[in-house]
Amino acid sequence: MNAVSRFFLYAILLLAALYALAPLWVMLATSFKSLDEIREGSLIAAPQAPTIAAWGKAWSRACTGVRCDGLQPFFINSLLMTIPAVLISTIIGALNGYALTHWKFRGSEVLFTMLLLGCFIPFQVVLLPMARTLGAIGFVDSVFGLIFVHVVYGLAFTTLFFRNYYIGVPGELIKAARVDGAGFFTIFWRILMPISMPIFMVCVIWQFTQIWNDFLFGVVFAGSDSQPVTVALNNLVRTSTGVKEYNVDMAAAIIAALPTLLVYIVAGKYFVRGLTAGAVKG
Amino acid sequence: MRPLSADRWLPKLVLSPTLLASLIFVYGFILITIAMSFTESRMLPNWEWAGIDRYVDLFDNDRFWVSAKNLAIFGSLFIVISMAVGLFLAILLDQKIRGEGFLRAIYLYPMALSFIVTGTAWKWMLNPGLGLERIVQQWGFADFTFDWLVNPDKAIYTVVIAGVWQSAGFAMALFLAGLRGVDSEIIKAAQVDGATLPTIYRRIIIPSLRPVFFSVALILAHIAIKSFDLVMALTGGGPGTASDVPAIFMYQFSFSRGQLGVGAASAVMMLMTIMAVMVPLMYAEAKSGNAR
Amino acid sequence: MASLGIHNIRKTYGDRAKGVEVLKGINLDIADGEFLILVGGSGCGKSTLLNMIAGLETVTEGEITINGKRVNELPPKDRDIAMVFQSYALYPSMNVRENIAFGLSLRKVPKTEQDATIARVAKLLQIEALLNRKPAQLSGGQRQRVAMGRALAREPQIFLFDEPLSNLDAKLRVEMRSEIKLLHKRLGITTVYVTHDQIEAMTLGDKIAVMKDGVVQQFGTPEEIYLQPANTFVASFMGSPPMNLIPATLSVEGERVTAHVRIGETEAHSAALPLNVTAETVKQNLGRRVLLGLRPEHMCDSSRTTGAVAVEVPITMTEITGADALVFTKLGGVDVVCRLHPRSVGQAERAQVHFDMTHAVLFDEASGLRIS
């Protein structure tokens, strides 16, 4: 390839990178501007007089509907919901994947196919019965309801991740351990767990991103005090009390995006692996 | 009598909660939703049989057809553009690019964001008063107008713009993984045969990515049909109901307007749509997989 | 140490009536300290049978006994067996020492005793220097040793080997083969060894069970299997090159039985080969075609045998392997290999081949069974 086409190649790739980064830059720049500067200046210009006032307001004072405590309480809700839901669904998924690959029994393949189809349904088709069920067992208006829902509908994916990983573990390893005298849980704990760290990372990160970013379950099943941060962000942006404060909106958006962005920066490798693994499912 | 050793029943015991959850909360609930779509349910479930009345209501509702049309527009553009951009970037990145890992990370980061965040950001940027429109005007094109966000005929296209921004990197990652999986000896053989680089891509590499095209299309279709949060955050279905999609329709009728029966019927339509897209795709994929 | 009994073993996958039957009534008995080889092509059921002995697969029908005691229902850990796998199946997260100790620690063997066992086994197999390494840092041969060490440490009643050498290169395979043989000699532990390699089967086994399609074709000592194959499958499976199976017709004059074999492809005349069987034995087969089984080394030079029948045959091809010249000819319309001395072949188009008829065996052409 000659130098000219090489130049165009890099030019196109860099332009695409700029395009991908532009919204993040605009969000960041806007969040550090004052409302006056936003009105006077350009969308993409760097803040002339950076101020963190918008961030403070977004975190603790902005109105999200009737409440005006900022995103803080909802951010905590999201943490309280996401962490247990991720851990529970991952652990159950790991055990399921292990049982489905190395302890097959009559019907285990059918069971797996059945679970797999659960990955494809639009959640709208379960919303109405689930809303009534959560109401009936008193889980509505609490983070427990959301934890429950995320675990139930996350299991298909976590099982899939671990099943696809454990299918690559040679069956002879399990046989050797059984001859050595190990049982179901001993083999899982002593033989498989130590070699499962990569898939645990993939699964935890995938689930974290999915659950943290969820909006549908949050908006349908959460009460006003148990809403996750995505719902609160949407309310914050929609709540207008006089002047539209774009800087506060943007600061709030970044706050809501921060945990998943951090995970992406720290463990992007696993995130990508999860995406591609989820993609080649079936 | 054979004594049952623990290892016989433990695997089944471990799987049973998941089996139960799947039977009740996936398959059972789908059946309940389907049943509800044939009842007189309004504010509260009412199990009085209504035949296909709720579907008649649904099909008589202009808003439903608007949302279906919007889904068709959004879905097809979103899938086609995301795949085209993703494949294009993947091919460019496949040319032994310096800093490939860094560029890849940049293209892909939007996938880590919530659609709500994406929607919020693009809503601000596409804002006719202070957003893109004004920058271009500031650059000297005083007559430039870009009001798609508030234009009923164009609002759904803003959803396409934001959706593609978020998902093109994802398509890129899958295509790139596919490109890297192509047997390098086949490429060498083609080079020895005198094929040029574009020819090798067009005739050999891209055709061999068939399964990747399938899975990318499948996932993007899935995202499109379920799309709810992005539209909620970006346009809220507006202006008016101009950018409604079925997911919003379902949400509004079920939870704001007290029309459970109609909501259920629209959810069933969504399920049917997904199945109509997925089943042939998966069938074709399975068939070509068997033939290989 | 223990004897092993396998009685009427059947294995069906799926539904008992409609499923696939992979083992169709296996009967084998070996005494304490014997080395049993299960040999056969892929899909013959040999590994399934081994897994059933280990307790890794359930028994559909029949009985497996260890020391006369039924073990069908016992899980693997209660059968007092140890197993070496084709892929070695070393636990990847544990080092060599932990791999060997794993089974011991699960059996709550005291730490000091574990250490003593590890030391003993490591010395025996010369893997002392590897004890702190992870499996990924070992070569194929070293992994093989560790896998054997892990099995040995348990001091089992029965040793099970599932194609343990097939992942090694040719040279190492021969080395490890003799090492396994030595070990068995030294420890005298009852052993069941699965392989598809007939040389391993011949060199290692006290008893060999040749299997095909879930049925034991022949069960006997290596010598019996080699010289007196029960049927044409065993005859052609064991030995390399395999036993020649030459179509022939029989004639009887008084008590003398003679086999007539057509020579070459176009030649009209045939060779008359005297057999040392009685007329009574072959009376069912008179006038019908039979297969005359002769190993290549029993069709050789005069220098290698005495008292044989000499026949001149046309040569279709010659392969010099170094020690031997494998001469290909046509007898009775099929390709036949003779093992001659390289010196006696040269560029000639014909060769003088001496048939050692004392080793000849006859098979019924239709059923493939040996006539005896």
Going by pLDDT thresholds of 50, 70 and 90, the confidence category of residue A277 is low
Q: What is the pLDDT of residues B210-227, one digit of tens each?
A: 888 888 888 888 888 878
Going by pLDDT thresholds of 50, 70 and 90, the confidence category of residue B284 is confident
* Pick from C242, C245, C239: nearest CA to C198: C239
Could you tell me the CA-to-CA distances from B24 to B17, B37, B275, C329, C360 in Å, in that order? 10, 18, 20, 73, 72
- Round to whole Å and give the CA distance between B43 and C31: 80
Q: Domain for residue A166, yes or no? A: yes
Q: Domain for residue A138, yes or no? A: yes
Average pLDDT over residues A136-165: 89
Going by pLDDT thresholds of 50, 70 and 90, the confidence category of residue B292 is very low
C-beta separation of C270 from C261 below 8 A: yes
A-proximal residues of B, 20-79, CB under 8 Å:
21-22, 25-30, 32-33, 36, 45
Flag whether pLDDT at C304 surpasses 70. Answer: no
- Round to whole Å and give the CA distance between C18 and C36: 32
Could you count the other beta carbons within 10 Å of the beta carbon of residue C293?
Answer: 24
Average pLDDT over residues C264-281: 79
Q: Domain for residue A25, yes or no? A: yes
ipTM for the whole complex: 0.90
Give the total number of structural domains in chain B.
1
Give the total number of structural domains in chain A.
2
Flag whether pLDDT at B91 surpasses 80. Answer: yes
DSSP state letters, B105-161: HHHHGGGGS-HHHHHHHHHHHS-TTTSHHHHHHHTT-TT----GGG-TTTHHHHHHH
Q: Which of B108, B222, B229 sits opposite A272 (nearest CB)?
A: B108
Among A251-265, C206-220, C233-247, C264-278, which stretch is predicted with the lowest mean pLDDT? C264-278
Q: Domain for residue A111, yes or no? A: yes
CATH of the domain at B193: 1.10.3720.10
* A28, A89: one domain: no
- Kindly report the backbone phi and psi dihedral angles of residue A58, in degrees, each rounded to the nearest multiple of 5, phi listed first: -60, -35
In the prediction, which pLDDT does A281 show?
A: 44
CA dihedral A18, A21, A27, A29 (to 10 degrees): -50
Flag whether pLDDT at C264 surpasses 50. Answer: yes
CATH of the domain at A221: 1.10.3720.10
* A88, A219: one domain: yes
Q: Domain for residue B12, yes or no? A: no
Going by pLDDT thresholds of 50, 70 and 90, the confidence category of residue B127 is confident
The chains in contact with chain C, meaning 3 or more Cβ pairs closer than 8 Å, are: A, B
Q: Domain for residue B234, yes or no? A: yes
Please give the single-letter amino acid code of residue C156. Answer: P
Q: Domain for residue B131, yes or no? A: yes
* A162, A192: one domain: yes
**Cα-atom radius of gyration of chain B, to the nearest Å?**
24
Average pLDDT over residues B69-76: 94
Q: Where are the alpha helices (DSSP H) in C2-63?
A: 46-54
Q: What is the pLDDT of residues C92-116, one digit of tens each?
A: 999 999 999 999 999 899 999 999 9
* A111, A247: one domain: yes
* A80, A208: one domain: yes
* A125, A203: one domain: yes
* Pick from C121, C122, C79: nearest CA to A181: C79
Residues C73, B7: C-beta atoms closer than 8 Å: no
pTM above 0.80, yes or no: yes
Q: Domain for residue B40, yes or no? A: no
Residues A128, B264: C-beta atoms closer than 8 Å: yes
* A169, A43: one domain: no
CA distance A27 to chain B (A): 6
In the prediction, which pLDDT does A77 show?
A: 94
The arrangement of secondary structure in C4-237, i.e. its CATH architecture, is: 3-Layer(aba) Sandwich (3.40)
Average pLDDT over residues C70-92: 91
Q: What is the pLDDT of residues B251-270, one digit of tens each?
A: 999 988 888 899 999 999 99
Q: Which of A103, A128, A209 sits opposite B263 (nearest CB)?
A: A128
Question: Given CB atoms, is A19 within the 8 Å cutoff of chain B?
Answer: yes
* Pick from C344, C317, C346, C341: nearest CA to C330: C317
In the prediction, which pLDDT does A5 show?
A: 85
Flag whether pLDDT at C279 surpasses 90. Answer: no
Residue B225 domain boundaries: 62-291
Q: What is the pLDDT of residues A82-137, one digit of tens each?
A: 999 999 999 999 999 999 999 988 888 889 888 888 878 889 999 999 988 888 88
What percentage of chain A has pLDDT greater than the value 90? 55
Among B137-146, C155-164, C316-325, which stretch is predicted with the lowest mean pLDDT? B137-146
Q: What is the mean pLDDT of chain C?
A: 89
Residue A258 domain boundaries: 72-279
Beta strands of C42-129 (E only): which ranges?
A: 61-66, 69-70, 81-84
- For chain C, the structural domain boundaries read 4-237, 244-371
B2 contact residues in C (CB cutoff 8 A): 72-73
Going by pLDDT thresholds of 50, 70 and 90, the confidence category of residue B2 is very low
Q: What is the pLDDT of residues B27-41, one digit of tens each?
A: 999 999 999 999 888
Question: Given CB atoms, is B290 within the 8 Å cutoff of chain C?
Answer: no
Q: Which residue of C has its CA nearest to A104?
A: C57
What percentage of chain C has pLDDT greater than the value 90? 57
Q: Which of A28, A34, A71, A124 to mutate to test the interface with B (most CBs of B within 10 A)?
A: A124
Helices C96-106 and C140-153: crossing angle in degrees, nearest 10, is 20
Flag whether pLDDT at B139 surpasses 90. Answer: no
Q: Which of A23, A233, A234 sits opposite B125 (nearest CB)?
A: A23
Q: Domain for residue A152, yes or no? A: yes
Average pLDDT over residues A148-156: 93
Question: Given CB atoms, is B10 within the 8 Å cutoff of chain A?
Answer: yes
The separation between the first and the last C-alpha atoms of chain B, rounded to the nearest angstrom, is: 47
C-beta separation of B262 from B251 below 8 A: no
B15 contact residues in A (CB cutoff 8 A): 96, 99-100, 108, 111
Among C12-16, C134-138, C153-157, C366-370, which stretch is predicted with the lowest mean pLDDT? C12-16
B:C CB pairs within 8 Å? 5
Going by pLDDT thresholds of 50, 70 and 90, the confidence category of residue C216 is very high
